[in-house]
Structure 1
Amino acid sequence: MAYRLACPLARDDALGARLVSSAVLCTVGTGIVLHVRRRMLREVRHARRIAEAAQSVLLRPPPPRVEGLAVAALHLSADPGARIGGDLYEVTATEHGVRAVIGDVRGHGLGAVRTGAAVLGSFREAAHDEKTLAGVLRRLERAMDRHLRERADGDHLAPDGAPAAEEFVTVLLLEIDPDGEVHALNCGHPWPYRLTGTGAEPLARADPLPPLGLFPLPGDLPTAACGRLLPGDILVLHTDGAEEARDADGRFFPLRDVLTEAARDRPGTPQAVLRTVLTALLDHSAGPPKDDVALLILRNERCSPPTRPTRGASRSATADR
């Protein structure tokens, strides 16, 4: 409008004047569009950096080593463009041993992220404060109960639109002592696999407790003794999205078979196992899986603990002297 009112050329009906006016208007319009586009791209990049920073704080990458255990982890979100979803994991060294958690929130999306944040935040404190795994699990249960009450007072909906009362999270807690002894508490989560030189076997076969959020935990919470993680042994913690990924024919991903082959190849690092599983999973599902997938891999790189002589052997040695 300013151009047409201020410029005499804009009011000229000659063909040449019209062409010049059209060129001027196109140039100005293109400049405005490019300016708006650049500004929007800057805002999108800024928002993405903020989102990535928040996601990395919530589901932060584990350190490569934790008290003699080599660590690798991976999370694949079912939501396009998201780095995290409804799966969670954490591993930390405490005065009570190395403690790890892996969990899977019902559904996925922003609501599942909130639930996972509530559980992870509680674990990060309780893992250091509580002397027993049972105490840690009690803290996670209370955090989940508070979260469900807040959701019930708010939007009343779980991540996938179901009532908040139907929201739950499966949780597996592990404690690895300095001598390699492994103890676990399982609330509805798939048992991890232990990789040795002979193959891949479930860490335990005990019936799990119900997931957090469905029913109150029982009064007695005995931990499952899962044996000793020997030097070189690997634990593969995973969510059900890994085993339930389907191919074009509807067949489930053979996670145990893939891990068995990886164990026979004796991979040197958890990263090698992670790459093997990820490559096979993406080939099987022909792209990203339809559900969130989390993998947490721990390898015992400690030296063998010194053997203690039996009392009989000590007495014999004393008699010989």
Structure 2
Amino acid sequence: MVRIKAGIRRARSLGLPTMWGAMAITYKLACPLSQQNGLGARIVTSAVFFAVGTGLVVHVRRALLRELRDVRRVAGVAQSALLRPLPARLDGLNVAAAQLSAEPGAAIGGDLYDVVGTEYGVRVVMGDVRGHGLGGLDTVAAVLGSFREAAHDEPELAAVMRRLERALARRLRERARAERPAPAAGAAVEGPDTPDTPVTPDVPVTEEFVTLLLLEIRQDGAVRLLNCGHPSPYLLSGESVTALARADPLPPLGLFPLPADLVVEGCGRLLPGETLFLHTDGAEDARDTHGRFFPLPEVLAGAIEEQPQALLGAVFTALLRHTGGSPADDVALLVLRNDRQRPLSSAARPGSQRPQPASGK
């Protein structure tokens, strides 16, 4: 049935060009006027062929627009499957996220994020695949798929990160096998540097890595973080904008194995009314025509009282204005605002005071 419908669509797409071509040939061969050399005959002949050409151009344009709509619809489905829409509220947190691909015409790029509610707290992932655009989609799918399972299965945040590391390693091995298949049994492939040495398909052909941030917000507001080469989130509290993490990040995932002793950083508490702003490096590294970096902390300070959706809009508007509408890298933004009610005894609870995070840029 599908093949029949596809055949009907192909027949329809070819029908109009065939009809226009047949009209032009019939006029040239059968119409006596087309054989004359007078000015009037030439004008009529030109008009006929102009009409044929115009009809073909209009038909091709409509076909291309129809194909573009289909491609955009497929891209939208792919985006929903990979970067699925986040809930507006999750376990007392107000959530908003958006992303912008640097590749023209692409609905998604190499940035990834997700937020899930688990029995261990709200867990967040944000990452940036090496490069940008469509080339990193399979890596995005592998990392997000692993996170969505591990976030519910693993009690410890460090174990979630190790699951993501294994998922990325599997994907790189699969790509290596696809790009450089193993030789037949007993065969050796000679190369300029390693003669008579068989090619090992498990060695990646090209280097690939992912900067990755794992965040956990527990019911009492305690924030725990693991950072593999990703920009630190910003904490928006009162009138201040500060970098949340204090410890140096680990190397990006995929460059080196994770250390045996993986220490999760405690970052105090996210108190009611406070906001966490997560981003990829495409935001802070964006430059204007004079080479100046995008002043993200200043923009956040100017919109610190906004709700998450309005805060995203303010940052994206300022970013596009700064880059002239054409950012050079993918950009993903994620906002988490604590709208939980403040416990009455929170001020008197031991350890409720927040350690002062390091200042942002």
Q: Indicate if the aligned counterparts of 2:75 and 2:107 stay in contact, CA closer than 8 A.
A: no
Query: After superposition, where does 1:36-115 map in structure 2 within 5 Å?
Result: 36-115=60-139
Q: Give 1:87 shift.
A: 1.0
1:297 aligns with 2:352: no
Distance 1:109 1:278, change over 3 A: closer
In structure 2, the partner of 1:171 is 212
Distance 1:66 1:11, change over 3 A: same
Q: Indicate if the aligned counterparts of 2:97 and 2:333 stay in contact, CA closer than 8 A.
A: yes
1:117 to 119, 141, 163: 141
In structure 2, the partner of 1:285 is 323
Q: Distance in 2 between matches of 1:63 and 1:280?
A: 25
Q: Indicate if the aligned counterparts of 1:236 and 1:296 stay in contact, CA closer than 8 A.
A: yes
Q: Indicate if the aligned counterparts of 1:92 and 1:100 stay in contact, CA closer than 8 A.
A: yes
In structure 1, the partner of 2:297 is 256
1:133 to 127, 149, 157: 157
1:180 to 179, 202, 221: 221
In structure 2, the partner of 1:315 is none
Q: Distance in 2 between matches of 1:34 and 1:285?
A: 36
Q: Indicate if the aligned counterparts of 1:75 and 1:83 stay in contact, CA closer than 8 A.
A: no
Distance 1:31 1:262, change over 3 A: closer
In structure 1, the partner of 2:8 is none
Counterpart residue type for residue 92 of structure 2:
G
Q: Distance in 1 between matches of 2:112 and 2:244?
A: 20
Counterpart residue type for residue 298 of structure 2:
D
Q: Distance in 2 between matches of 1:8 and 1:284?
A: 65
Q: Give 1:187 shift.
A: 0.8
Q: Give 1:164 shift.
A: 4.3
Q: Give 1:29 shift.
A: 2.6
Q: Give 1:75 shift.
A: 1.0
Q: Indicate if the aligned counterparts of 1:105 and 1:115 stay in contact, CA closer than 8 A.
A: yes
Deviations 1:222-280 (A, max 9, x none): 211111110000000011111111122212112122223333xx22x111221222222
Q: Distance in 2 between matches of 1:164 and 1:95?
A: 40
- C-alpha RMSD of the superposition: 2.0
- TM-score for both structures, normalised by structure 1: 0.88
Q: Distance in 2 between matches of 1:69 and 1:186?
A: 22
1:198 aligns with 2:269: no
Q: Give 1:165 shift.
A: 4.7
- TM-score for both structures, normalised by structure 2: 0.78
Q: Distance in 1 between matches of 2:273 and 2:71?
A: 43
In structure 2, the partner of 1:3 is 27
Distance 1:164 1:170, change over 3 A: farther
Q: Give 1:7 shift.
A: 2.2
Q: Indicate if the aligned counterparts of 2:108 and 2:134 stay in contact, CA closer than 8 A.
A: no
Q: Give 1:306 shift.
A: 5.7
Q: Distance in 2 between matches of 1:79 and 1:241?
A: 13
Q: Indicate if the aligned counterparts of 2:133 and 2:330 stay in contact, CA closer than 8 A.
A: no
